[in-house]
Amino acid sequence: MTDIVEVVAYDTEWPNMFETEAKRIKSALGDNCIAVHHIGSTAVPGLSAKPIIDILPVVKDILQVDQVNSAMTNFGYDAKGEYGIPFRRYFQKSSDRRTHNVHVFEKGNPEIDRHLKFCDWMRTHGHDRDAYGVLKAELALKYPNDIMNYCLGKDVFIADIDSKTGFDGLRIVQALTDREWEAVRHLRQKYFFDRVPVDDPYIWTFKDTKHVHFVLYKGTKIIGYAHIQLWPENRAAMRIIVIDEPYRNKGIGSDFLKLCERWLSHHKREKLLVQSSPTAYKFYCNNGYVKMPFNDSDGYEGDPQDIEVGKDLNN
Q: What is the reported pLDDT for 2?
A: 54
The answer as to whether 308 is a domain residue is: yes
232 three-class SS:
coil
- Predicted TM-score (pTM) of the model is 0.93
Q: What is the reported pLDDT for 301?
A: 83
Asked if residue 183 and residue 139 are part of one domain, the reply reads no
Report d(CA 211, CA 302) in Å as an integer. Answer: 18
What is the span of the domain harbouring residue 295? Answer: 170-312
Asked if residue 188 and residue 96 are part of one domain, the reply reads no
**CA distances to 30, 132, 204 from 48, in Å:** 33, 8, 40
> Taking a C-beta distance cutoff of 8 angstroms, is the pair 38, 54 a contact?
yes
Asked if residue 161 and residue 175 are part of one domain, the reply reads no
Chain center to CA of 40: 16
The answer as to whether 22 is a domain residue is: yes
Asked if residue 142 and residue 238 are part of one domain, the reply reads no
What CATH number is associated with residue 223? 3.40.630.30
Extract long-range pairs of 80-89: CB within 8 Å, 24+ residues apart. Answer: 84/173, 84/174, 84/176, 85/111, 85/173, 85/174, 86/172, 86/173, 86/174, 86/214, 86/259, 86/263, 87/62, 87/111, 87/262, 87/263, 87/266, 88/62, 89/62, 89/65
Asked if residue 155 and residue 175 are part of one domain, the reply reads no
Report d(CA 42, CA 286) in Å as an integer. Answer: 46
Number of structural domains (the chain) is 2
Task: Let me know how many helices (H) and strands (E) the chain has, helices first.
Answer: 9, 12
What CATH number is associated with residue 38? 3.30.460.10
19 three-class SS:
helix
Report d(CA 304, CA 315) in Å as an integer. Answer: 29
Last residue of a domain, one of 116, 150, 165: 165
**CA distances to 132, 215, 246 from 242, in Å:** 34, 10, 12
Q: What string of pLDDT tens digits covers the 315 residues of the chain?
A: 456 899 999 999 999 999 999 999 999 999 999 999 999 999 999 999 999 999 999 999 999 999 999 999 999 999 999 998 999 999 999 867 889 999 999 999 999 999 999 999 999 999 999 999 999 999 999 999 998 999 999 999 999 999 999 999 999 999 999 999 999 999 999 999 998 899 999 999 999 999 999 999 999 999 999 999 999 999 999 999 999 999 999 999 999 999 999 999 999 999 999 999 999 999 999 999 999 999 999 888 888 899 999 999 987
Report d(CA 225, CA 205) in Å as an integer. Answer: 14
The answer as to whether 270 is a domain residue is: yes
The answer as to whether 241 is a domain residue is: yes
Q: What is the reported pLDDT for 95?
A: 67
Last residue of a domain, one of 137, 165, 193: 165
Angle CA 262–187–185, to nearest 5: 100
The answer as to whether 6 is a domain residue is: no
Asked if residue 183 and residue 55 are part of one domain, the reply reads no
Backbone dihedral region for residue 249 (phi beyond 0: left; psi -120 to 50: alpha; all else: beta) = left
Asked if residue 174 and residue 142 are part of one domain, the reply reads no
Asked if residue 217 and residue 113 are part of one domain, the reply reads no
Asked if residue 183 and residue 284 are part of one domain, the reply reads yes
Return the percent helix, strand and coil in the chain, to nearest 5.
Answer: 40, 25, 30
Last residue of a domain, one of 110, 130, 165: 165
Angle CA 297–180–117, to nearest 5: 125
